[in-house]
Amino acid sequence: MADRCIEVSLVKRAVTCTAQLLDDRAPVTCNAVWDALPLAGEVYHAKYARNEIYALFPPFATSEPPLENPTVTPIPGDLCYFAFSGAELGTKAYGYDREVRPGTTLVDLALFYERNNLLLNGDVGWVPGIVWGRVVEGLDAMADACNDLWRSGAEGETLSFRRA
């Protein structure tokens, strides 16, 4: 199989990076994401994981991928997939308690843009993510935009994933 690549963008900031799918390490997750593209949603900056931006989506796979190529210490350029129940996210601690309800499932597609990340949540403990892609071009510009998002705010910004 030829390498598959996607573009990850912060739309309002007009910043895009290119990521390669890790088909050899996370084939089920890569196929699920690839088949669902394009995806775009309101961007959030992480509270507990540190240098992470992400968007939340309704489940799009026919069944949730297994925990393939897991990590709790993502590195710069990692794209991670998480599935959360509404009960895990529907608290005031995360800021989406009005939109997220118990009994639902949400998919979190995340981009880690700097080092020293640890997926340890004070409410639930370790939160392993599936590493399904890695940024191969444009990470420095994306990291600058992510830092601006952290400092200036995410209001009105969209995180987009599409086939390259």
Q: HSE of 18 in the Cβ direction (CA atoms, 13 Å)?
A: 6
pLDDT value of position 128: 96
Overall size of the chain counted in residues: 164
pLDDT value of position 79: 98
Read off the pTM. 0.93
CA distance 29 to 66: 8
59-67 mean pLDDT: 95
Are the C-beta atoms of residues 3 and 20 closer than 8 Å to each other?
Answer: yes
| 105-122 pLDDT, tens digit each | 889 999 999 999 999 987
pLDDT value of position 89: 65
38-57 mean pLDDT: 93
